[in-house]
Chain A
Amino acid sequence: MDVMPKWADVVLVPLISLLLAFAISALVILGIGKDPVEAVKLMVTGAFGSTYGWGYTLFYATNFIFTGLAFAVASHASLFNIGSEGQATLGGLGVALVCLALPWPHWALALPAAMIGGALFGAAWAFLPAWLQAKRGSHIVITTIMFNFIGAAVLNYMLVNVLRPEGSQDPASANFPPGTNLPTLHEILGVFGIPFSKAAPVNVSFLIALLACVLVWLLIWRTRFGFELRAFGKSESAAVYAGISPARIIIVAMLISGGLSGLMAINNVMGEAERLVLNSVEGAGFIGIAVALMGRNHPVGVALAALLFGFLYQGGAELALWMSIPRELIVVIQGLVILFTGALDNMVRMPIEKLFLAMRRSAKAGE
């Protein structure tokens, strides 16, 4: 039997961690001589105060949902996929190659093709580390993180030498043809007569990210493979005894994980930039780890945590602009949130568990 009721596990602990992180952030802001109350107001209005702010918050959240789900799937098999960054980078390459390959007539045709391209490239980038883990026992943390660097170098080479249009000075691909431009939320909501900021980059990929949450939930908790995945993650020896092949689980889990990371590119590359630039992932692969940890590897939790980090990204950007708080400090605040919700989880959890135990004991004693 669990020590804590479920609501305490999924709501109370993350919430207290978050409050602690914000409290320390407030002290840091106070320390550099700025007003933390004003800072919070600015972050909230910047991220949620207008449809423009919402548009960016949801745009970032879309990225984090994909990378968070990617990490969560691997995590259920006890695999620590730290390579989402590289897989999403390669996914961007896949999406760009698909978008530039044909003069697409309509986005509804281009999107599925680009999704396949992105997912294939992302999965391919996860395959080698997975194979090395399954067959050679090379630790997946080491191999995936190394593959991030190789991925960045591959992108660099492709943009400088292959995809850069003739005469362009910027290492970026050509603009994608108009037929690949995804409808933004402005256009989608416009159909229903709801006004939404035209400038914000949030697009139809957001809906696909939500769909991915449902599919991942089905995969993990409603399919035979999902059962095998979780069984393997809980105990490898028990899984082997039950006739589950570890190599198969490792490789398939990592392919799905890499594919989800690669899918992120339909949002940032196809949806926003509409061309491939360097560093287009912008650290979303690493944020995905924090998102999954905070969301307890459950799709609903991942979606909510992604929204929180979307808020931190967009609100933080506003903060840097309007309060002349240096950008580095925004990274400090984001780091504190990751530290408290991810790494220092037990610091909050243990006292709360003790509290609940004590409460239960006194309740029993009273019976």
Chain B
Amino acid sequence: MTFMRSILGAAATLALVAGTAAADPAIIFDLGGKFDKSFNESAYTGAKRWAEANGGEFREIEMQSEAQREQALRRLAEAGSNPIVMTGFAFGNVLGEVAPDYPDTSFAIIDAVVEQPNVRSVVFSEHEGSYLVGMLAAKASASGTVGFIGGMDIPLIRKFACGYAEGVLAVNPDATVLSNMTGTTPAAWNDPVKGSELTKAQIAQGADVIYAAAGGTGVGVLQAAADADSVLSIGVDSNQNHLHPGKVLTSMVKRVDNAVEKAFNDGPGFETGVMVMGLANDGVGFALDDNNAELVSDEMAAEVNAAAEKIASGELSVHDYYSDNACPHLQF
């Protein structure tokens, strides 16, 4: 009995300690893994930046399997983490069920819309950023054939592909856009070997600029393009120009890091609802740095920047795949 009591006592103390340590923010990374050099890593960068700026700490979990999502989310909420940010559309359904159970916890989800009073849904205008890198791809291509390699075949990735194709065709209406998806399950976010095989296949069909929107799979795409002669690649989400300097034309940056940092900064009880991050509020864009300065001429950059301003001001509109689940520029 005394033994039992001491165990219960220890548990109670631990619960108290956990209680005082609470209110740290937390982030959950989806299946691509924290260090995918792309989507999840961008989120990690934002969280780390917040921690360095504020001297705070945050909790993190990496998903290993689809079935763990709900437990991970509940465990963080039970432990008092607040706010909780999760990366990836796949959390949408789970969050919709979990969020009402923890009305005092603020949740933020990236790439999906969840209609709950305590959820902030962050969505990006990927089609706009992809349009810009599509323009660059068409200008850099000598063969007139460019490629797109997606991760998992979902509407979100088709949105990338469609914007990209529109950008390419805006510069060169006769261009050919090749498109391949890595797979149909979340495993496709982390399959660099297959990414590299698809890249080689597209190169064999004449593509000389290849855009990867595939999370960790993109590492293989960029590698295969760098290994081939006079083939350029385009990175995604994070700035991936540094991975193969002089071989990566540019990166379509999606400022997941900003979204995460903002959620952490806003803290518990932040403003909820849908938050759209596009060209107008620097949510997406293309990366220019020392690593690709020689690949992107001033004239190319100026032209793309002009298009970016037109899109931001609403003068030019890029087709959004979500609007009608169809793409006028590309067959899937």
Contact = CB atoms under 8 A, between A and B. Distances in A.
Interface of A: 41, 45, 49-50, 52, 56, 156, 159-160, 167-172, 175, 198-199, 201, 268, 272-275, 277-282, 317-318, 320-321, 327
How would you classify the secondary structure of chain B's contact residues: helix, strand, loop or mixed? helix
Interface string B97-119: 10001000000000010000000
A170 B75 contact: no
Interface string B52-85: 0000000101101111101100111111000000
Nearest to B11: A49
Contacts of A282: 65, 67-68
B185 interface: yes
B11 A45 contact: yes
- Going nearest first, the 7 A-B pairs with the smallest beta carbon separation are A49-B11, A169-B154, A160-B184, A279-B65, A277-B66, A278-B66, A280-B67
Q: Quick one: which of B14, B61, B68, B325 has the most chain A CB within 10 A?
A: B14
A85 B11 CA distance: 35
A327 B65 CA distance: 12
Given A198-B101, A279-B67, A282-B68, A156 B155 contact: no
B50 to A, nearest CB: 18
Given A41-B14, A50-B15, A273-B67, 20 more contacts: A45-B14, A49-B11, A49-B14, A156-B184, A168-B93, A169-B154, A171-B185, A198-B101, A199-B77, A201-B71, A277-B67, A278-B185, A278-B186, A279-B66, A280-B67, A318-B75, A320-B61, A321-B75, A327-B62, A327-B64
Interface in B106-158: 112, 154-156
A338 to B, nearest CB: 18
A234 to B, nearest CB: 38
Contacts of B64: 327
Interface residues of B, number: 35
B170 interface: no
B169 interface: no
Contacts of B185: 156, 159-160, 171, 278
B10 interface: yes
25 contacts: A45-B10, A45-B11, A49-B7, A49-B10, A49-B11, A49-B14, A50-B11, A50-B15, A159-B185, A167-B155, A169-B112, A170-B92, A172-B93, A175-B93, A199-B74, A201-B71, A277-B67, A278-B66, A281-B67, A282-B65, A282-B67, A320-B61, A321-B75, A321-B76, A327-B64
B89 interface: yes
A170 B71 contact: no
A341 B244 CA distance: 49
Contacts of A41: 10, 14
Nearest to A198: B101
A272 B66 contact: no
Nearest to A56: B71
A170 B67 contact: no
Nearest to B153: A160
Contacts of B65: 279, 282
A106 B62 CA distance: 37
B290 to A, nearest CB: 34
B73 to A, nearest CB: 10
A167 B325 CA distance: 9
Contacts of B90: 169-170
A198 B154 CA distance: 34
A275 B59 CA distance: 28
Contacts of B10: 41, 45, 49
A30 B90 CA distance: 36
A274 B94 CA distance: 10
Nearest to B64: A327
Contacts of A168: 93
A56 B89 CA distance: 25
Contacts of A280: 66-67
Given A52-B78, A156-B184, A198-B101, A317 B71 contact: yes
Most chain B CB inside 10 Å of its own CB: which residue of A169, A199, A327: A169
Nearest to B111: A169
A63 B128 CA distance: 47
